[in-house]
Amino acid sequence: MGTSVKDIVIPSNAPKSLLLLKHADYIVSYGEKKDDYEYVMTEYLRMNGMYWGLTSLALVGHLDKMNRSEVIEFVLKCQQDCGGFSCSIGHDPHLLSTLSAIQILTLYDAVESVNTDAVVRWIKSLQQTDGSFYGDKWGEVDTRFSFCAVACLALLGRLDEINVDKAVEFVVSCMNFDGAFGCRPGSESHSGQVYCCVGMLSLAGRLHHVNADQLGWWLCERQLPSGGLNGRPEKLPDVCYSWWVLASLKIIGRLHWIDKNKLVEFILACQDEETGGFADRPGDMVDPFHTLFGLAGLSLLGDTTVKAVNPVLCMPEELLKKSKIQFQYL
């Protein structure tokens, strides 16, 4: 009798050391495949995908392997008349792709090459009277969009353009009894949403709304016997939560509450020794999304072969040090 915990077992032959260069090669070759069925199917994520890939390269010190002007040209083409960015050419603008676009431009120190006033105006127009943000003109509300809006404006140095008090009020209204956050008031707690809410509160300088012990405890309970982290109770571990959960813990000053060695072992086991790149779990297919969050997780866990990552914006720390952005940490 007795049900076993929902978890995976790390195979004994799984990688145990970081294959830094292989990951750079993987990202570069991923960017070169263009006429694939996969390419068509992932186009709605193109801008995010470029951010994941380029940030991975920046974290391993190989951003120079990509063609800077080609990337910037693509991003510029995706800015729409309203000011927002679309995920790809011919697609519609959205806050999710707009944040990725601004992050990419920041990586390349090229923010000034786009119309930033128009971006700011558009983001402002998406804030509602209750403080929440629409993701685009069609009206969907989600705490992820609150993070995107605030992160974009912080990167542009224009956070004072929106009603920050109201924005904070809305995010806090999405907090649950366990100290964690959901996508809207009344919705279930979710580690990805926690990251967005905690990150937003850090940028707004309002982390006092968080019950750090309670939330920290909930986040730590995401660690499973394999060492990996899940996003919600009774879900399987996944490398991307090495980022969402870990970054949240770092922001609220509770990173030491988890078993670091076991998590490092889990993340390393998710690498593909042949192709490079990280998968969600050992043995699965790799992709740029999990590659970034694997690398960024290792960086937060103190691996010095990866560059230091900023826990709020998931970008190289050295780059953001030059900016005037204020990050609050507990």
Partner 1 sequence: MADSRGPRLFADLNNVFKRDPNIDEYDILPVLEPTHNRSPFLLQEHKLGVEAWAVKVLMKYVATRLIGWRSQNPLVKFIDPTEVLNLTRALILFNPDNYTAWNVRKELVESGFLNIADDLQFGALVLSKHPKSAETFIHRRWLFQQLLDHCLSSSLDSNGSVAAVPENNADSSISMDLIDVDIVASPENDGLLSMDQSLECSRLFKLHTQLEMRVCARAAERYQCNYHAWSHRIWIIQHCLNCSLQVLLSEMKETEAWNSTHISDHSGFHYRQFLLTELHKRQEKLSLLSISPGQLVHREMAYVCDLIRSYPGHETLWYHRRFLFCFMLNTHPLDQDTKLSCKSSNGFSVYRDQGEEALKRHKTFLIAQELESVNTKQKLESSSKYNHMLLGKYVHWLQTLLTST
> What residue ranges bind partner 1 (CB under 8 A)?
1-6, 35, 37, 40-41, 43-44, 86-92, 94, 128-130, 138-140, 177-178, 182-184, 186-190, 213-214, 217, 221, 232-235
For partner 1, give the closer residue by CB, 87 or 120: 87
- CA–CA dist 249, 220 (Å, integer): 8
CB of 139 to partner 1, least distance (A): 6
User: What 3-state DSSP class applies to 282?
Assistant: coil
DSSP secondary structure letter of residue 122: H
For partner 1, give the closer residue by CB, 25 or 140: 140
End-to-end CA distance of the chain: 43
CB of 259 to partner 1, least distance (A): 14
For partner 1, give the closer residue by CB, 1 or 9: 1
CB of 214 to partner 1, least distance (A): 8
| Closest listed residue to residue 96, CA positions, set 196, 190, 19 | 196
Residues sharing a CB contact under 8 Å with residue 90, sequence separation 6 or more, in sequence order: none
For partner 1, give the closer residue by CB, 21 or 89: 89
- CA–CA dist 182, 192 (Å, integer): 9
For partner 1, give the closer residue by CB, 205 or 233: 233
In the structure, how many helices (H) and strands (E) does the chain have? 14, 0
For partner 1, give the closer residue by CB, 44 or 327: 44
- CA–CA dist 154, 169 (Å, integer): 18
| Closest listed residue to residue 210, CA positions, set 251, 241, 262, 244 | 251
CB of 109 to partner 1, least distance (A): 28
CB of 49 to partner 1, least distance (A): 13
CB of 130 to partner 1, least distance (A): 6
